[in-house]
Chains A and B, each alone.
Chain A
Amino acid sequence: MSTTTSAAPPRPPKETRSARRVRLTDRTRKERNLGWMLAGPAFIAMVAVTGYPILNAIWLSLFDFRLTDPSGRSFVFLGNYVTILTDGLFWKQFGVTVIITVVTVSVELVLGFALAMVMHRALYLRTALRVAILVPYGIITVVSSYAWAYAFSNTYGFVNGLFGLGDFDWFGGTWSALFTVCVAEIWKTTPFMSLLLLAGLAQIPDDYLEAAKVDGATAWQRVKRVILPNMKAAIMVALLFRTLDAFRIFDSVFIMTAGAQSTETLSFLAYRQTISRVMVGLGSAVSVILAILVVLIAVMFVKVFKTDLSQQRGVKK
């Protein structure tokens, strides 16, 4: 706008045109201002609290810094990252995190799909189903972790009695402890997965299934050839959300095993380094690595998602 005002004295017709343009930009400017006035507070609240800690974490991760010894703080550049990435323990915890993620998300996908199918098809008990399925979703993760930890416990639980396992100690070995964590995690989050899948399922026109049935397709063929290809988008969204979530697993590990029997995950490592051991530099580096891994997973999903969708579109056209 400064260019229009500083321009050489304009002739009358041009004047009106530029005046109109000024009015127009005035209006859009007002809309812009209003937009930022409305969205600004939320934006600031989101950035202020997360922006600084993220930058701070990246900065601190370059130092050898122990909270109890502030004067001994020294700049080590990428030293912390080298320490972590060359440590076998980190890779073990990375492995545990990956195992939990892969196992829970794949079981949840299959189970969630079954749940969604039932919710989609059942004519009765619909409200009861919806209420029942929202209970695990809404329940506090710590509470569900306790419920499962006590259920599997050989002192308090009923699981051993139910399956005749005697005194078997579920939390005494890595694999059985991880199993209980996965069960708790799956129970709590499958409902969310199934609701996302249900939304995708509801978008498939009934005619498609009817036509397949008329053509003599079996139930399995209908699922494989009609239902699954038509809800790819919903499946990808559900998988993305849950994978990112599962990779950051913390609450249930903290409550159920406290990291014992080599069940520590990456989030737990970051917590333990910073809060319990007050190794702020090292802990921050673990946090940064975790964040980078999560972003990588998200990017990978979006890449696969995009090529997948464009391929789908290509086939259809």
Chain B
Amino acid sequence: MKVSRRTQAFWIAGAILIIAYAIIPVIWIISLSFKEGDDITNNQFFPTTWSWENYKTVFASDLFTTALRNSVGMSLIATTISVILATLAAYAISRLEFPGKRLVLGVALAITVFPVIAIATPLFDLWRNIGLYDTWLGLIIPYLSYSLPLAVYVLAAFFREIPWEMEQAAQVDGATAWQAFRRVIVPLATPGVFTAAILTFFAVWNDFVFGITLTSSEAARPVPAALAFFQGASQFSQPTAPIAAAAVVVTIPVVVLVLLFQRKIVAGLTNGAVKG
């Protein structure tokens, strides 16, 4: 479609507005995290002097550093297991005929629909009885079951698009079954697996409900839950700016992943939802 310069200027203005919309709250929390002393309550957007003080406070606090370790560790473990299981399941769903296929998809859908809080409260009861309360495993297990549906849907949507005939073609050309899989299918499937891993990581990294219901100490509490308990329960007299600093720290991985993989993330999000 031919686009006049004036309409294009209109869309560019829109684009700039959207970018501002998306990043102003982020810049606000960053600028709050650099405020110190009276600046914190100066009701201005930017600090008068930029200070690293809050970051020092946050990294000197066990509350935050253990929570960060918990979050990183549990998110990586849950993401890895979830993506492996989801890859196998998605392969079966997109390539094989077996009874109960619809059941698997139905259960996955039911779980995404079911309120997390309705699972978390009975789990609280159960975990206390079997000793999983306030442990890494006690959080990783629910993370798995809640991230698997998303990963399965994203991966199944990806696998359906892979031209599987190429595998046979390679075998006709003299490749062994393993070579065909290794050289042809794996490179085609990797982007999908990667996208699923990023989306799964986001989902698990974001968890708050399980984090606050299934933990009671620093042993397993992830960052989002720890942030909520900074207030009052901490040694900080005025935790606002340190919370902002902690918030910025946990946002960095998200921003890095987005910067690196924006195209894939968008494809993964929309593929799974529209076709799945």
> Are A57 and B121 interface neighbours, CB within 8 A?
yes
Q: Which residues of B contact A147 (CB under 8 A)?
A: 25-26, 28-29, 244, 247
> Are B122 and A42 interface neighbours, CB within 8 A?
no
Tell whether A135 is near chain B: CB-to-CB under 8 Å.
yes
Given A143-B29, A146-B247, do A290 and B117 touch, yes or no (CB 8 Å)? yes
Query: How many Å lie between the Cα of A211 and that of B49 in the bound state?
Result: 58
Query: How many Å lie between the Cα of A196 and that of B276 in the bound state?
Result: 12
Least distance between A151 CB and chain B CB atoms (Å): 6
Tell whether A93 is near chain B: CB-to-CB under 8 Å.
no
> Are A32 and B251 interface neighbours, CB within 8 A?
no
Tell whether B74 is near chain A: CB-to-CB under 8 Å.
no
> Are B41 and A254 interface neighbours, CB within 8 A?
no
10 CB < 8 A contacts A-B: A35-B98, A57-B118, A119-B15, A123-B8, A146-B244, A158-B45, A234-B274, A244-B113, A275-B124, A284-B121
Query: How many Å lie between the Cα of A43 and that of B107 in the bound state?
Result: 8
* Residue in contact with A129 in the complex, picked from B19, B101, B244, CB distance below 8 Å: B19
> Are A141 and B208 interface neighbours, CB within 8 A?
yes
> Are B40 and A156 interface neighbours, CB within 8 A?
yes
Query: How many Å lie between the Cα of A187 and that of B18 in the bound state?
Result: 11
Tell whether B97 is near chain A: CB-to-CB under 8 Å.
yes
> Are B92 and A290 interface neighbours, CB within 8 A?
no
* Residue in contact with B205 in the complex, picked from A53, A67, A140, A200, CB distance below 8 Å: A140
Tell whether B1 is near chain A: CB-to-CB under 8 Å.
yes
Question: Nearest CB to that of A154 among chain B residues?
Answer: B43
Query: How many Å lie between the Cα of A138 and that of B111 in the bound state?
Result: 21
Query: How many Å lie between the Cα of A237 and that of B115 in the bound state?
Result: 18
Interface residues of B in 5-19 (CB under 8 A from A): 7-8, 11-12, 14-16, 18-19
Given A54-B119, A143-B251, A150-B244, do A49 and B141 touch, yes or no (CB 8 Å)? yes
Q: Which residues of A contact B1 (CB under 8 A)?
A: 206, 209-210
> Are A196 and B111 interface neighbours, CB within 8 A?
no
**Interface residues of chain A: helix, strand, loop or mixed (majority):** helix
Query: How many Å lie between the Cα of A173 and that of B44 in the bound state?
Result: 24
Which positions in A face B, CB cutoff 8 Å?
A: 28, 31-32, 34-36, 38-39, 41-43, 45-50, 52-54, 56-57, 60, 67, 114-115, 117-119, 121-125, 127-144, 146-148, 150-151, 154-158, 160-162, 187, 191-192, 195-196, 198-200, 206, 209-210, 233-234, 237-238, 241, 244, 248, 250-251, 254-255, 267, 270-271, 274-275, 280, 283-284, 287-288, 290-291, 294-295, 298
Interface residues of B in 249-271 (CB under 8 A from A): 250-251, 254-255, 257-259, 262-263, 265-266, 269-270
Q: Which residues of B contact A206 (CB under 8 A)?
A: 1
Which positions in B face A, CB cutoff 8 Å?
A: 1, 3, 7-8, 11-12, 14-16, 18-19, 21-23, 25-26, 28-29, 32, 40-41, 43-45, 85-86, 88-89, 91-93, 96-101, 103-104, 107-108, 111, 113-126, 141-142, 144-145, 148-149, 152, 202, 205-206, 208-209, 212-213, 223-224, 227-228, 240, 243-244, 247, 250-251, 254-255, 257-259, 262-263, 265-266, 269-270, 273-274
> Are A41 and B88 interface neighbours, CB within 8 A?
yes
Q: Which residues of A contact B202 (CB under 8 A)?
A: 137-138
Known pairs A31-B97, A136-B25, A255-B228 / 9 extra A-B pairs, C-beta < 8 Å: A43-B107, A49-B145, A54-B122, A117-B14, A118-B11, A128-B19, A130-B266, A196-B273, A291-B115
Q: Which residues of B contact A162 (CB under 8 A)?
A: 45
Least distance between B254 CB and chain A CB atoms (Å): 4
> Are B250 and A132 interface neighbours, CB within 8 A?
no
B40, B107, B270: which has the most chain A beta carbons within 10 Å?
B270
Query: How many Å lie between the Cα of A248 and that of B118 in the bound state?
Result: 10
> Are A53 and B122 interface neighbours, CB within 8 A?
yes
Question: Nearest CB to that of A142 among chain B residues?
Answer: B224
A131, A155, A271: which has the most chain B beta carbons within 10 Å?
A131
Query: How many Å lie between the Cα of A119 and that of B262 in the bound state?
Result: 14
Least distance between A228 CB and chain B CB atoms (Å): 17
Question: Nearest CB to that of B86 among chain A residues?
Answer: A42
> Are A39 and B101 interface neighbours, CB within 8 A?
yes
> Are A34 and B96 interface neighbours, CB within 8 A?
yes
> Are B89 and A131 interface neighbours, CB within 8 A?
no
Query: How many Å lie between the Cα of A209 and that of B7 in the bound state?
Result: 15
> Are A146 and B29 interface neighbours, CB within 8 A?
yes
Question: Nearest CB to that of B225 among chain A residues?
Answer: A142
Query: How many Å lie between the Cα of A258 and that of B148 in the bound state?
Result: 30
Q: Which residues of A contact B98 (CB under 8 A)?
A: 31-32, 34-36, 39
Query: How many Å lie between the Cα of A251 and that of B120 in the bound state?
Result: 14
> Are A287 and B213 interface neighbours, CB within 8 A?
no
> Are A136 and B121 interface neighbours, CB within 8 A?
no
B25, B99, B126, B243: which has the most chain A beta carbons within 10 Å?
B25
> Are B240 and A140 interface neighbours, CB within 8 A?
no
Least distance between A122 CB and chain B CB atoms (Å): 4
* Residue in contact with B228 in the complex, picked from A118, A142, A144, CB distance below 8 Å: A142
Given A133-B18, A156-B40, A157-B43, do A60 and B28 touch, yes or no (CB 8 Å)? no
Given A52-B126, A130-B263, A150-B29, do A274 and B121 touch, yes or no (CB 8 Å)? yes
Q: Which residues of A contact B243 (CB under 8 A)?
A: 146
